[in-house]
Each structure stands twice: as C-alpha cells, then as structure tokens.
Amino acid sequence: MNRVKNNKLLLAVLAVALFIPTVIAIINLNRAKVGPVDVTSIVSMKMSDLDGNTTVFDKDNQDTEKMIDMFVKMNAEATQVTTLPEALSAKPFYLVEMSNGSIEYKYKYYFDITGADTYYEDGDGKVFRISANAAAEFLATQYAASIYSGSNVPVLKISAGVTDVRPTAAKWAFKDAAGNLVDVDYTSKIIDQNAVYPVEGGMETSFSIAPDYLHVEINSDPSGDVLYNSDYENNAAFRFDGAAHANVKINAKWYHDDAREYEGEMSYSFSIEVSEAASFYLGTDKIESGSAVAVTGVNVKDPSAIEFSCEPAISYTPVFYTDGDFVRAIIPFASDSVTNVNGTSFKLTFKYGAVTQSLDLKVDYRDYQKNDAPTYDVSDAVAALYTDATKQAANDALGAIFAEGSAERYFEDAFIEAVDSPMSRFFGRIYTVNPGGVSYRQTGVEYKTGDGVTVANVAKGKVVYTGNLDVTGNVVVVEHGYGLKTLYAHLGSISVNVGDVVAQGAAIGTSGSTGFTNTAGVYVANFVGTVPISPYSMWADGVWRAFATPGN
C-alpha cells in the first residue's frame, strides 16, 4: 500500500516537474511580447509610413540593419507615460512590425516634426515618450519623408482619366526639421519604357504643384511632325482635330528657394492615343423659369469626370448618365431662377478632358403667382399635419430617394396628366395656410377629383417609394430616369409596389384625401433631383424638349 502511495506521489512530482518548463516558457513568451525588445533577437522589421508606403528591413542587409537598431534603441530609451496626448490620438501614425522569426511585435509611432513631442504605443496599449535625440535621428532619414509636407512629389495629370503619369527620370528633395535637404527615394515610380496613355480630345498638362519651368514637346506619330515645342503653362490644354497618335516629352523644374520646403526636376517621355473630342448639345435653347433643359454629350467615356459651371450661377450640379454612345443629363432651373425678366441668358459650361464648351440658354420669366396672397383654408386637424416636425419626417423619408437617379431612362417624350380633372392648387404659387399663417411655395399641382378616381402614371418609370406620411398622406414616387421623378400624394389607395416598372397611363392608385389636403383629389409633382419643376413644361404643349442627338 505504501509503495502504491509512493508511486502516485512520484508521478505527481514528475508531472509537476514536466509542467514547470512549459509554464515558464509561456510566461517568458508573454514577457517577450510586451517587454523591451532585444536588438540581437530581431531579424526583420516592416514599416508603413503616413502615406501608406511600406518598407521591409532585415538583418542580412547592413544598410537596413541600421534602421532596425535605430528603432530598437528608440524604444529602449523611451519613458513610459500614462496616456497618449489627446491631440495625437486621431492623427496618422507609423506602423512598425518587428519579428525575431517566431514572435511579432507591433508598435504605433507618432512623430512630432521637431522630435520634441514624439510617442509610441505598444501592442498592449502602453504609451512611451521617445527621447528627442532618438526621434531626431529618425527624422533625418529618408524614411521620415511622409512627415514633411515638402516630401509630396508633384503628380502629373494629362487628362481626366490619366491622373498619375510616371516619370522617366526624377529628383526630388525636401527640407527636414534641421533645414537640410533630404532626397526622396523615387526609384519605384520611375519607368524605363514608353508608356501609352489614352486621352480624349487632347492633352491637358497639370501638375499638383505648379512648376517654375515647364517645357512640352509633342510630335505626331508616325510622321514625326512637330505639333508643339515650347514652354508651357501649368493647366494648359492642347487640342487635336480628330483622333491621333502622338509622342510627348515633358521636362519640369522646381527651383531652390529658401522659403520653400522642396526642390526637384522631373522628366517624362510617353505616347498618347487621342480619341475624338467631346461635344455637348442642349435639347432646346429656350425654356421658362421652373422648367428643365436636357443635355446630351458625345465622345465621353467617363461621365463622372464632366465638370459643370453656369453663369449666372444655379444651385444644381447635373449628373450625367451613359445612354449608348451618348451621355445624358437634365438641368432644372428653379421657378425663382429669374425674376420679372424675359430672355435672361445663362451660359452653361461643360469641361471634359481638354475640351471646354459653353452653350447659351435663354430662360424666360414665368409668373406663377397670378394673385397676391392666395390662402389655403383647411381644418384645424389638417393644419396640424403641416408642422416643422412633419415636414422634417417627410424629408427624412424621401430625401435620399430624391437625391439618387437611375442610369436607365424609362421615359420617352412628353408627359401626360394624371387625371382629367380641374386643378385646385397650382405649381409655383405661394400659399398661406389658414389657420396658422404658415406660407409655402407649391411644388406641384393638385387636382380636385373626388374619391376613388384612377390616377394614371404620367410617364413610364420605376416605383422607388410607397408609404404614408403626415404631409403627403398615401404617397408614391416614380423614377423616370436620370433623376427625373414624379410624386403622387393624398392617394386614397396605392396599387403599385416598390420595384414595379409602370407604363405611361397605367394605374398608380386612386384619388383620396389623406395627408395635408382640404379636398379629395391627387397631388402630382415633378422633380429633377431635389429641385421641383413645372409639370406644365413636361406636357406635349409645354416647353419640354427631348434629348438632342447630334445630326438631328
């Protein structure tokens, strides 16, 4: 019996003895992960700077070994502090990962440009303040480039779709905290072969930092004819007549200046494949205020790159959509875009690639008011449905719907009226609610029909919203394409669902008296984006014009 007990005791002792080294190893491993890093144990280091550039260092390379030693020493001499300064917590940082072959250590480094207020955070969230001397040693290296604004090497753009042309030769230097010029290692960005870039209509040379000297040479290929050979202005454009192939050489210089944080020189040699220049057309050259004009563009590959401006200014930026070989957009002119003036001239300017084209549009004033102060008489219960809170609820529900547009065009031409009934409220008029005295501008038209009359869809489109809101009552929104929408409100019933594609003339629902209304009928409003436009202009006898097609 004693022998059995002694054997059990011996087995227990042996088990503990065998377990102890494992426990010790685990403890040592955890200590290694959070404790000081031994410089002799690190075999590699990976560093990601503020620009996202990653560099790998290893002990087999004498030059990169110095960087490993520098960071290990930097950590060893740092002093632990309670927390990272609040001003640094939201700032970008250097991510450094050190490895001894089996364990990886991660650190975040927050460098102050002077080196005086620099910190690092280890994998356990402990924060250490780095000595100014250790930080200054790193700040003097080329790897600190992303900390300095002067290290941002100029980027060459030659068209809307070509925004980062790589040089064949480059030299760039920035000033560090001590005022010394440090060369940027740009080797990986240099190309030694002739790149070919597609451009549309021409070449627009533009540097992110304007050079002091810029020379451009353009030669036709294969003839070799000199098309351009002279000094050039930043942001200048060179147009081609039709499609072409050309070879380009560019030399740019940024001179030394004591007040600057940089200096350098870039050389480029590449070819361009030039496609036909873009052109833009208006569906009509004259509309009324409160209406919209349709725009067509040709030879446009990227509609999102079209830049638009208008003089006088309008508070709308058109969105262009691809339609086969064309791009299309609709531009609304709000009912108050002109006041008491006929024939106000608007200059619409479209910029794409090397093309800048201006088109003139005449906008006549239309007086939607008709009389001075129409009132909208409603019951107290109906008036209570029109408050800041209910209007905000409607905006919350419909705002995102109206801000989006469909790349598919459903409508074909003129719109029809939703019902064959007289109107009781009219687009563009300012009404004063009684009771309450709140004034508002009417964004659509309201028909007085009685209950249960079928409401027809005014143009083919896709149902993008159905619901019930205090202001609108039962409501349906139909997208006709390119951001052009129709809203139907105060419906008694709804007969469509979101996602349905509804033909022109098909039933949307029935008339009713739901929401903020004093009569049984239906409210119909057209919008381009969030801008209401006159339904009258969309009818066959209105001023609406379909999209223009070149040659028609």
pLDDT at residue 88 greater than cutoff 60: yes
Backbone CA torsion sign across 297, 303, 305, 306: positive
Mark whether 388 and 529 lie in a shared domain: yes
Mark whether 95 and 141 lie in a shared domain: yes
Cβ 279 vs Cβ 550: under 8 Å? yes
Mark whether 440 and 525 lie in a shared domain: yes
Q: Which of 251, 275, 299 is the last residue in one of the domains?
A: 275
* Phi, psi (rounded to 5 degrees) for 488: -115, 120
**How would you classify the pairing of strands 156-157 and 195-200?**
unpaired
Q: Which residues contact 514 (CB under 8 A, 6 or more apart)?
A: 468, 472, 473, 474, 490, 491, 492
Mark whether 197 and 268 lie in a shared domain: yes
Tell me how far apart the alpha carbons of residues 276 and 369 are, in angstroms, rounded to a whole number. Answer: 47
Mark whether 241 and 187 lie in a shared domain: yes
* 533 residue type, one letter: I
Q: Which of 147, 165, 181 is the last residue in one of the domains?
A: 147
Helix (H) or strand (E) holding 180: none
The full DSSP string for 106-153 is EEEEE--TTSSSEEEE-TTS-EEEEPHHHHHHHHTSGGGGGGSGGG--
Ramachandran sector of residue 240 (left: φ over 0; alpha: ψ -120 to 50; beta: rest): beta
Identify the pLDDT of residue 93. Answer: 96
Tell me how far apart the alpha carbons of residues 416 and 458 are, in angstroms, rounded to a whole number. Answer: 5
Pick the closest to residue 533 from 311, 295, 281, 294 (CA basis): 294
Tell me how far apart the alpha carbons of residues 416 and 73 are, in angstroms, rounded to a whole number. Answer: 79
pLDDT tens for each residue of 49-74: 998 889 999 888 887 889 999 999 99
Mark whether 105 and 140 lie in a shared domain: yes
pLDDT tens for each residue of 235-283: 778 888 888 999 999 999 999 888 899 999 999 999 999 988 899 999 8
Helix (H) or strand (E) holding 422: none
Structural domain includes residue 74: yes
- Lowest-pLDDT range, 42-46, 221-225, 334-338, 488-492? 334-338
pLDDT tens for each residue of 98-117: 998 888 999 999 998 888 89
Tell me how far apart the alpha carbons of residues 328 and 219 are, in angstroms, rounded to a whole number. Answer: 35
pLDDT at residue 349 greater than cutoff 60: yes
Cβ 207 vs Cβ 153: under 8 Å? no
Please tell me the total count of domains within the chain: 4
Mark whether 383 and 298 lie in a shared domain: no
Q: Domain of 79: which CATH number?
A: 2.60.40
- Hey, which residues does 107 pair with through a beta bridge? 96
Mark whether 253 and 106 lie in a shared domain: no
Tell me how far apart the alpha carbons of residues 217 and 95 are, in angstroms, rounded to a whole number. Answer: 43
Per-residue tokens: 542: 């209105």
Identify the pLDDT of residue 390. Answer: 95
Mark whether 342 and 402 lie in a shared domain: no
10 CB burial (10 A radius; 0-12, 13-18, 19+) = exposed
* Phi, psi (rounded to 5 degrees) for 311: -130, 115
The full DSSP string for 379-397 is -HHHHTTSSHHHHHHHHHH
Mark whether 315 and 458 lie in a shared domain: no
Structural domain includes residue 341: yes
Question: Higher model confidence: residue 486 or residue 3?
Answer: 486
Mark whether 159 and 178 lie in a shared domain: yes
Q: How far is CA 23 from CA 9, 19, 31, 104, 393, in A?
A: 21, 6, 12, 20, 62
Identify the pLDDT of residue 14. Answer: 39
Domain range spanning residue 164?
Answer: 150-275
Structural domain includes residue 123: yes
pLDDT tens for each residue of 445-462: 999 999 999 999 999 999
Identify the pLDDT of residue 20. Answer: 42
Q: Which of 108, 129, 147 is the last residue in one of the domains?
A: 147
Structural domain includes residue 516: yes
pLDDT at residue 1 greater than cutoff 70: no
pLDDT at residue 408 greater than cutoff 60: yes
Pick the closest to residue 118 from 127, 105, 130, 108 (CA basis): 130
Q: Which residues contact 79 (CB under 8 A, 6 or more apart)?
A: 128, 129, 131
Backbone CA torsion sign across 80, 82, 85, 88: positive
Helix (H) or strand (E) holding 33: helix 2-34
Q: Domain of 512: which CATH number?
A: 2.70.70.10
Backbone CA torsion sign across 11, 17, 21, 24: positive
Report the Cα 128 to chain-centroid distance in Å. Answer: 38
Question: Higher model confidence: residue 517 or residue 187?
Answer: 517
Tell me how far apart the alpha carbons of residues 425 and 314 are, in angstroms, rounded to a whole number. Answer: 27
- Hey, which residues does 462 pair with through a beta bridge? 479, 501
Structural domain includes residue 109: yes
Q: How far is CA 144 from CA 120, 175, 262, in A?
A: 15, 11, 14
Mark whether 393 and 341 lie in a shared domain: no
Structural domain includes residue 6: no
Pick the closest to residue 157 from 111, 208, 194 (CA basis): 208
* 170 residue type, one letter: A
